[in-house]
Structure 1
């Protein structure tokens, strides 16, 4: 599931691509998806509508950043590092 775009990020993925990969990983587990919606205040429709919104994507990465076990598991699943996910969150949250 690794993103191979060309830019300066060490793992080759841009912030939005990493966030989308993290979102797919997050919603792949029903309990985690429910927790994402509950903690971010988003509902499924808002999440779908905001798929291209840097603020929504940053919120997804913020959700993962707030729970280190999920952050680490997601990073492993999408073949990146927790640090890259955090950097993507910061970039999207500007």
Structure 2
């Protein structure tokens, strides 16, 4: 997957995440961002990587995103690998 495709998928996931009243506060808490900072930085590769890292913390979240958006759950991992730092992801 190329970086621009990975960023597009991460933005799609971010949009889904923003619509989830349960997960969004958890994501914001884990990143230390508030809603205003998230809006301002949403297109940055670092934030998009954080979105993918967060989603991949829980298989249920990945599968729920995939079910609700008809997305490819394996695409999340491929997208993360295409973004900066993805080649060094620790999957443990």
Q: TM-score, normalised by structure 1?
A: 0.78
Residues in 2 aligned to 1:65 and 1:28: alpha-carbon distance in whole angstroms? 18
Structure 2 residue 30 is matched with structure 1 residue 14: no
TM-score by length of 2: 0.79
2:66 aligned residue (75, 88, 93):
75
Cα separation, 2, equivalents of 1:34 and 1:24: 14
Structure showing the higher helix proportion among its residues: 2
Asked whether 1:62 is paired with 2:61, we answer no
After superposition, residues 1-94 of structure 1 pair within 5 angstroms as 14-94=5-85
Paired with 1:25 and 1:71, the residues of 2 have a C-alpha distance of: 11
CA distance in 2, matches of 1:40, 1:68: 19
- Number of aligned positions between the proteins: 84
Ranges in structure 2 where 5+ consecutive residues have no aligned partner = 86-92
- Partners of 1:93 and 1:73 in 2: how far apart? 25
Note the aligned Cα RMSD (angstroms). 1.9
Structure 1, unmatched stretches of 5+, are 1-7
